[in-house]
Amino acid sequence: MSLHLYDTITRTTREFVPLQQGKVGIYLCGATPQAAPHIGHLRSGVNYDVLRRWLIRLGYEVAFCRNVTDIDDKILRRAEETGTPWFAVADHNMRAFTWAYDTLGCLPPTVEPRATGHVTEMIELMQRLIDRGHAYAAGGDVYFDVRSWVERYGVLSNQRLDHMRAAGDTDTDGLKHDVRDFALWKGAKPGEPTWPTPWGAGRPGWHLECSAMATKYLGSAFDIHGGGMDLIFPHHENEIAQSNAAGDPFARYWVHNGLLTVRGEKMSKSVGNVYSMPDLLAKVRPVELRYYLATPHYRSVIDFSDEALTEAAAGYRRIEGFVTRATEVVHDVSPALELPEAFVTAMNDDLAVPQAVAAVHDVVREGNVALASGDKDQVARHLAETRAMMDVLGLDPGSPQWRSATHDLRGTVDALVSVALEQRQAARARRDYAAADAIRDQLTAAGIVVEDTPQGPRWEIHR
């Protein structure tokens, strides 16, 4: 079975056929960095990183473009509230997003364009729309004329224009031909940053910038456009309208990830239910947080809870434990070149990661049986398959990133645990089993689990 993806615009799961054989172009709506990221923002980064890794595993060369909306109403409000220059707000928070993506093991984008660096391309796109009769300038603003595109407007969100509310993106509705017309360009206001255009100084509208950047780096037609389901309308709907109206075929597949909620509500500072990266990393390791975000189906809603996070961390540690024990027996084994059929079938079925992870756990169970029986050949095979599957998900416990993080933690306590284990072995040698058991109980209370094996005692940190 070849890769199939659910396409929002056709509402079907379609076979993925790229525009150019062997190559894939992906555009992902990235951060609007008015604040540091929370876990809801990061789900998108992890989900599309898994998609990208799977495409690479299938043999594609992937151009991955993730934008930064570094000028926006929210950024300007935050700048005014804090007395900080708008560009400093955007830059400071963008560094926090980059750190979070890197910490969760996301591959860096091929290109990460910022809106403020692409005003020239936006001006060119607006001029094309005006020339074609789909946009107009008024009072320093430039608007998209939705009535000029009435037959196609609403194709993504499946809404009819007559049922839509006014576009709430400006306070200048009196200048619009129709209150549902959306702003491509916002005229200059006192104290706001501006860029010159033929229609007056101002700043970009939210929707315009993504069309301009996507086509600059991926071409007038490209393969996949991604983003959260909350962006379907109006953002992605408006991207399609302005791009198609300008003559660009634009994205061929629209892939949307589900949201992350807390007790059924969207994360929001006003509600007080925001979980930041530092909050979460006080509870679990980065790799365990990635496992929590990556393993549900990308189109499902994740309702966050500490219990679910803890359960996910335990699930990852079961896999990690097998990889650690197997590596001690057969030493370094590289990820397998071929993946188990059940895993491949699941990933090709609209990235069915829950079923793919079930395939991982099946192999781990078989590997643990092989460990118990001492069958090193089977241990090596199951280890290679486990690492290969987990590598696709960006979760391979044997990869340099996650192994070094684990080794750093182990190195901190290794010397102390070694001394305690030596004392325990000495007590057992002199048949002082009460003292040996007491040492083991003390280690258990400290979160160190000791396992006696034919090769001697081994220990793990139990979180």
Domain holding 25: CATH number? Answer: 3.40.50.620
pLDDT exceeds cutoff 80 at 289 = yes
Backbone φ and ψ of 391, nearest 5°: -65, -40
Q: Does residue 273 fall inside a structural domain?
A: no
Q: Does residue 288 fall inside a structural domain?
A: no
Is residue 204 helix, strand or coil? strand
Q: Please give the average per-residue pLDDT across 257-269, as a whole number.
A: 88
Q: How far apart, in Å, are the Cα atoms of 88 and each of 71, 75, 81, 83? A: 11, 10, 13, 10
Q: Does residue 270 fall inside a structural domain?
A: no
Residue reference for tokens 């057969």: 330
First to last CA, the chain: 40
Which of 351-355, 434-438, 447-451, 453-457: highest mean pLDDT? 351-355
Same domain assignment for residues 149 and 215: yes
pLDDT, residue 225, reads 98
Residue 338 CB neighbour total at 10 angstroms: 9
Residue reference for tokens 């707000």: 89
Same domain assignment for residues 350 and 410: no
pLDDT exceeds cutoff 60 at 409 = no
pLDDT, residue 404, reads 67
Same domain assignment for residues 428 and 369: no
Same domain assignment for residues 445 and 373: no
Same domain assignment for residues 429 and 388: no
Provide the token pair at 349.
């079925």
Same domain assignment for residues 414 and 394: no
**Structural domain count of the chain:** 3
Given 219, 240, 257, the domain boundary residue is: 257
Q: Does residue 276 fall inside a structural domain?
A: no
Same domain assignment for residues 80 and 65: yes
Given 382, 398, 414, the domain boundary residue is: 398
Instruction: Give the relative orientation of helices 306-330 and 376-392 as an angle to the nearest 10 degrees.
Output: 140
339-360: pLDDT as tens digits: 999 999 999 999 999 999 999 9
Same domain assignment for residues 75 and 12: yes
Q: Give the DSSP H/E element, type plus range, for residue 93.
A: helix 86-103
Same domain assignment for residues 142 and 57: yes
Same domain assignment for residues 244 and 313: no
pLDDT exceeds cutoff 60 at 205 = yes
pLDDT, residue 413, reads 54
What pairs with residue 66 in β-bridges? 28
* Residue 361 pLDDT class (50, 70, 90 cuts): very high
Q: Does residue 136 fall inside a structural domain?
A: yes
Provide the token pair at 158.
């499946």
Provide the token pair at 407.
């080794």
DSSP state of 132: T
Q: Does residue 62 fall inside a structural domain?
A: yes
Provide the token pair at 320.
């990690």
* Residue 411 pLDDT class (50, 70, 90 cuts): very low
Q: Please give the share of the chain, as a percent, with pLDDT higher than 90.
A: 79
Q: Does residue 301 fall inside a structural domain?
A: no
Q: Please give the average per-residue pLDDT across 202-210, as a whole number.
A: 95
Residues 351 and 4 sit within 8 Å (Cβ to Cβ): no
How far is residue 101's CA from residue 426's CA, in Å, rounded to a whole number?
A: 47
Which value, in Å, is the radius of gyration of the alpha carbons in the chain?
Answer: 26
Higher pLDDT, 450 or 115: 115
Provide the token pair at 403.
């192994």
Q: Please give the average per-residue pLDDT across 220-229, as a whole number.
A: 98
pLDDT exceeds cutoff 60 at 419 = yes
Same domain assignment for residues 213 and 342: no
CATH code at position 364 = 1.20.120.640
Q: Does residue 196 fall inside a structural domain?
A: yes
Same domain assignment for residues 354 and 318: yes
Q: Cα 204 to chain center, whole Å?
A: 26
118-149: pLDDT as tens digits: 999 999 999 999 999 999 999 999 999 999 99
Given 374, 398, 422, the domain boundary residue is: 398
* Residue 461 pLDDT class (50, 70, 90 cuts): low
Q: Which domain holds residue 228?
A: 4-257
pLDDT, residue 213, reads 98
Closest listed residue to residue 340, CA positions, set 355, 324, 327: 355
Residues 86 and 31 sit within 8 Å (Cβ to Cβ): no
